[in-house]
Chain A
């Protein structure tokens, strides 16, 4: 069968330009909504196509074909509501999660005991949701998970958790859900939960979204147990969203229009520590964002901009191949603790270009109490984003379209450099860029075996640092992909506390040990450093290092903090080493001190100065290799 002729989506040149710039891209965003519909249809069709020949995979539920036919009937009666159901962000997460299970049998990898039919049965939930909204009469079994049966956009019913499936029936507009022996519930019963739908409106631009708290596919990676919000939490989200929306529409209406066109759901998480919002997007969840309850409306507005950038780029990468990813290569991403693949670096660069632009505009509207923090965020993210974009442009992993996209984005961000920032916030931002990159190198980079051996031998004999280690031979350094969080942002978060609340920070400085409850990963020495007391900070880091070395720790936080206590990062050889090539210090330490007797514990300044004496006096943090770092498997070290 040849069937209908098929064309491909086309991206208008001006839309490509606007999307790459990241602003005033509403027309391009509307086009992306259309192409995402095509992608979603193909994703769902893939599930049906792969699952259909395996009827046993969906038992005890009715067949995949039965669910599909109900979906088709619903579409014939009410195409708009059926499309709305299918285009929910969590549907894409379900499709990718379930397809990976079908193709790879990832049960062992994820440790899940959830049977495949429970995942495949989400198709039944979609069909039922579409059929209810279309007003059909029908009957179909669907899975219940964690005590909930979720019908996307329609609602959810709760049951005793040992029921793993329920029967949904509708007749003459009356929906009932039966389970067990003769037990029933429905939308009029107390166990029924309507979707949490929020609307924010300002200046004629309306944002409508659903807060998804029960659907197991809302968390973008695998599945998550329902976490129902209470009424107070819903009210807080509603109030924060309205205020964030007013700010965005007033200050950045172009971005607001694009967000209104794309954002469909928020999956809420509990609040994190102040200045540490958690947020995430997934390429398969167009229009969905995972967000922790924000500190305030400004933070929520910034996060919406951040996640909407991910949504746009994710959709664009469905249309075009922008990177030639090498799975054995990782890059430095200035916003993450872990080495990232090139696709992740591109995503982050685009998101933080949006964040830099948000703060660029925000600082012009900020009141006196907010101005320094806004200036700091702008200075920090314009520098970090530009670094990442230059890293991408220097790499060999962009396609022609990818290179063009990054060039446009880079030009936009480079234009931010001309904008003045007050000296204090600018210096603080510069210091935090050095801090993060040094921490990242210290923790994630590893030398090859020959270099490590030479380093250890030279240090043990107190010979001069072997400067031949500084050449850029490919493969000498490799990156450890480490998924655990290392709190590299601790000093930056403390800086935000100081800028946002100077009086509160003064109180903290009077009782610096209290910082461990306020900012995970921060220490009393960090408080002294951010306060501007370098002498007290250095003494504090040295005390911490003495204790850490005695305990056999090779944690990097205090080492880099020590490097930051010298006012000019290049004047002292120890600072040069700790801030520019900290991986050499840490590798020496790992080779000679780890597990050694107390006699072998080095003096931190002596060790760092020994490495620094081998570095050029005018050395800066070295450029990253064009191809990124090869991935090092920790198990093979």
Chain B
């Protein structure tokens, strides 16, 4: 990750020229690393605490705890 007076190179793959039909054409190595970074972040249960910013900690319990989802 490089910083120059003009800017900072981020940690995220730039997919501005890619869409759902061309995702598979991106460089394999770069894509695998980018996918892993996103997967780790999304699946990180600890991160889910920081990533939810509520005015209070517990105002909106998950619906599955308060109303039964008829599926299943």
Indicate if the CB atoms of B49 and A16 lie closer than 8 Å. Answer: no
Indicate if the CB atoms of A12 and B72 lie closer than 8 Å. Answer: no
24 A–B contact pairs at CB < 8 A?
A3-B26, A4-B26, A6-B30, A13-B6, A15-B7, A35-B12, A42-B34, A75-B20, A99-B39, A112-B62, A144-B71, A277-B55, A279-B55, A280-B59, A280-B60, A282-B51, A282-B53, A290-B60, A318-B12, A336-B56, A338-B57, A344-B53, A347-B50, A483-B57
Indicate if the CB atoms of B63 and A223 lie closer than 8 Å. Answer: yes
Residues of chain B with a CB closer than 8 A to A5's CB = 27
Q: Contacts A9-B14, A113-B68, A221-B60 given; 11 further ones with Cβ under 8 A?
A: A3-B27, A3-B28, A35-B10, A38-B15, A41-B15, A41-B18, A46-B39, A216-B69, A318-B41, A320-B8, A321-B11
Knowing A46-B38, A100-B43, A114-B72, say if A82 contacts B20 (CB, 8 Å): yes
Residue on A nearest B22 in the bound complex, by CB: A4
Indicate if the CB atoms of A4 and B27 lie closer than 8 Å. Answer: yes
The docked-state distance in angstroms from the alpha carbon of A277 to that of B62 is 19
Asked if A111 is at the interface (CB within 8 A of a chain B CB), the reply is yes
Indicate if the CB atoms of B13 and A96 lie closer than 8 Å. Answer: no
Indicate if the CB atoms of B58 and A99 lie closer than 8 Å. Answer: no
The docked-state distance in angstroms from the alpha carbon of A576 to that of B4 is 50
The docked-state distance in angstroms from the alpha carbon of A522 to that of B14 is 51
Indicate if the CB atoms of A45 and B35 lie closer than 8 Å. Answer: yes
Interface residues of B (CB under 8 A from A): 1, 3-31, 34-35, 38-39, 41-43, 45-60, 62-72
Indicate if the CB atoms of B14 and A7 lie closer than 8 Å. Answer: yes
Interface residues of A (CB under 8 A from B): 1-13, 15-16, 34-35, 37-39, 41-46, 49-50, 68, 71-72, 75-76, 79, 82-83, 86, 95-96, 99-100, 103-104, 106, 110-115, 118, 143-147, 161-162, 164, 216, 219-225, 269, 277-284, 290, 310, 314, 318-321, 325, 327, 335-338, 340-344, 347-348, 351, 401, 483-485
Residues of chain B with a CB closer than 8 A to A221's CB = 48, 52, 60, 62
Residue on B nearest A118 in the bound complex, by CB: B71
The docked-state distance in angstroms from the alpha carbon of A362 to that of B15 is 40
The docked-state distance in angstroms from the alpha carbon of A542 to that of B71 is 53
Contact of A347 among B16, B39, B53 (CB under 8 A): B53
Residues of chain B with a CB closer than 8 A to A335's CB = 55
Residue on A nearest B64 in the bound complex, by CB: A112
Contact of B10 among A9, A112, A145 (CB under 8 A): A9
Q: How far is the CB of A381 from chain B (nearest CB, A)?
A: 13
Indicate if the CB atoms of B65 and A145 lie closer than 8 Å. Answer: no
Knowing A45-B35, A71-B20, A110-B65, say if A341 contacts B11 (CB, 8 Å): no
Q: How far is the CB of B49 from chain A (nearest CB, A)?
A: 6
Indicate if the CB atoms of A34 and B42 lie closer than 8 Å. Answer: no
Q: How far is the CB of A627 from chain B (nearest CB, A)?
A: 17
Residues of chain B with a CB closer than 8 A to A164's CB = 70-72
Indicate if the CB atoms of A12 and B55 lie closer than 8 Å. Answer: no
Residues of chain B with a CB closer than 8 A to A12's CB = 6-7
Contact of B18 among A4, A144, A484 (CB under 8 A): A4
The docked-state distance in angstroms from the alpha carbon of A335 to that of B4 is 36
Contact of B70 among A10, A38, A161, A224 (CB under 8 A): A161
Indicate if the CB atoms of B23 and A41 lie closer than 8 Å. Answer: yes
Q: How far is the CB of B28 from chain A (nearest CB, A)?
A: 5
Indicate if the CB atoms of A143 and B57 lie closer than 8 Å. Answer: no
Q: How far is the CB of A280 from chain B (nearest CB, A)?
A: 4
Q: How far is the CB of A304 from chain B (nearest CB, A)?
A: 13
Q: How far is the CB of A275 from chain B (nearest CB, A)?
A: 11
Knowing A79-B19, A113-B69, A484-B57, say if A223 contacts B12 (CB, 8 Å): no
Contact of A320 among B10, B16, B51, B55 (CB under 8 A): B10
Residues of chain A with a CB closer than 8 A to B50's CB = 283, 325, 340-344, 347
The docked-state distance in angstroms from the alpha carbon of A635 to that of B12 is 39
Residue on B nearest A41 in the bound complex, by CB: B15
The docked-state distance in angstroms from the alpha carbon of A325 to that of B47 is 9
Indicate if the CB atoms of B63 and A219 lie closer than 8 Å. Answer: yes
Q: How far is the CB of A156 from chain B (nearest CB, A)?
A: 15
Indicate if the CB atoms of B35 and A46 lie closer than 8 Å. Answer: yes
Indicate if the CB atoms of A95 and B26 lie closer than 8 Å. Answer: no
Indicate if the CB atoms of B59 and A278 lie closer than 8 Å. Answer: yes
Q: How far is the CB of A21 from chain B (nearest CB, A)?
A: 16
Indicate if the CB atoms of B14 and A38 lie closer than 8 Å. Answer: yes
Residues of chain B with a CB closer than 8 A to A222's CB = 62-64
Residues of chain A with a CB closer than 8 A to B35's CB = 42, 45-46, 49
Residues of chain A with a CB closer than 8 A to B30's CB = 6
Indicate if the CB atoms of B56 and A99 lie closer than 8 Å. Answer: no
Indicate if the CB atoms of B60 and A220 lie closer than 8 Å. Answer: yes
Residue on B nearest A348 in the bound complex, by CB: B53
Contact of A343 among B23, B47, B55, B56 (CB under 8 A): B47
Residues of chain B with a CB closer than 8 A to A110's CB = 62, 64-65
Residue on A nearest B37 in the bound complex, by CB: A42
